[in-house]
Amino acid sequence: MEHKNKTLQELKEKSPIACTKHALIGIDGFVDIIVHPVDKRSGPGDQFKAIPTITDFSERIGSAAGKSANIEFAPSVEKLGGNGPIMANAQCAHGLNVRYLGALGRGTVHPVFQDFSERTDAISIADPGVTHAAEFDDGKIMFGKMASLEGITYERLCESPGEAALIDIFEQSDLIGMVNWTMIPYLSEVFRSLLERVLPAVSQDKPRTFFFDLADPEKRSEADLLEVLDIFSQFEAFGEVILGLNLREAEQVDALLGFDPLPNNPENLQLMSARIREKLSLHTVVVHPVADAACATPEGTAYAAGPFCKKPKITTGAGDHFNSGFVTARLIGLSPESALTLAVATSGSYVRTAVSPTLEDLAEFIGSW
């Protein structure tokens, strides 16, 4: 209760700052089709029983080995997707001035992004990927088509908006968030070009925060992952870096850095955050499992339990909302523990309502959970 009261007090004092902050978010873009794998159908439309868990789904697939199977994906909704657009949408709701840079349509913006593109004065450099997000009671599985994201290159950025305009956009930004490294083949090269050609041309007298999210790097090689982690560290020369990791990602990075595995509990979550931060020489590392979160900063470590939702309305985008809540909180000056509380509240509110909450919504949510 004390940490919630502290968060509410800090939020009351600091929330007016949000509208003064400028964020540049990128760099992916997906059309998300939320689906429910069908177990048994009793009629057309929504007259079906969904496969409830990932374990049940895996057993259904496994039973088809050496045979065949036909599994229906019943569509629930088609919506804006991608780590970047969802995070940017959440930050718009928080009151930040958001500019988006990413894959919303080459030449013509895809209709699902039209309102978002106008709201964020977006610069689109490639066609979006397409994701079928199969949602279960215990998680989700994303089936993605992403060949179009190969078009995200620094050369494409130099076509539009152009290098000079890119420097100007970075100059204006208090926050630069670049997410979904795993799905974008040339993003490490883009990062290197930003370090070599854009950031040295930006004034250094303005505090800047950089946020990075790997987005399930299991399919990338260890060499690729070690390379991009080193690149993240290089951004510290131009501002404060926040690396956001879900539990699976944190465990993968932790192991890659040579640490022994730890049982999952609040103390070890903080320890893992701290040793990843120290090893990579980053300002902040934040780790967010489903039910809680921890971070390590120069001030030490912090932990917050979350408002776990047993029957969420939506789960796709929950991590992106957590990231938005944490980064916004730190950007406006909340303490690490309060930032974690605001972050778990942002994701907790979102999975219950499928709507990105405002800071006012979050104050009410924190007060009532």
H or E element at residue 253: helix 247-256
Q: CA–CA separation, 67 vs 87, rounded Å?
A: 41
Task: Check whether 5 has a pLDDT greater than 80.
Answer: yes
| Structural domain spans, the chain | 2-35+80-368
Query: For residue 79, what pLDDT band results from cuts at 50, 70 and 90?
Result: confident
Return the biggest CA–CA distance within the chain: 64
Burial class (CB in 10 A: 0-12, 13-18, 19+), 148: middle
Residues in a beta bridge with 98: 23
What pLDDT digit, counting tens, does each position of 162-182 carry? Answer: 999 999 999 999 999 999 999
Q: Which of 94, 164, 27, 124 is nearest to 350 (CA)?
A: 94
pLDDT in tens, 32-61: 898 999 999 999 999 999 999 999 999 999
**C-alpha count within 13 angstroms, C-beta hemisphere, residue 107:** 0
Tokens of 269: 């979550």
Query: What is the Rg, in whole angstroms, of the alpha carbon atoms belonging to the chain?
Result: 20
Q: What are the tens digits of pLDDT across the range 217-248? A: 999 999 999 999 999 999 999 999 999 999 99
pLDDT of residue 140: 86
CATH of 2-35+80-368, one of 3.30.70.20, 2.60.40.2580, 3.30.1330.30, 3.40.1190.20: 3.40.1190.20
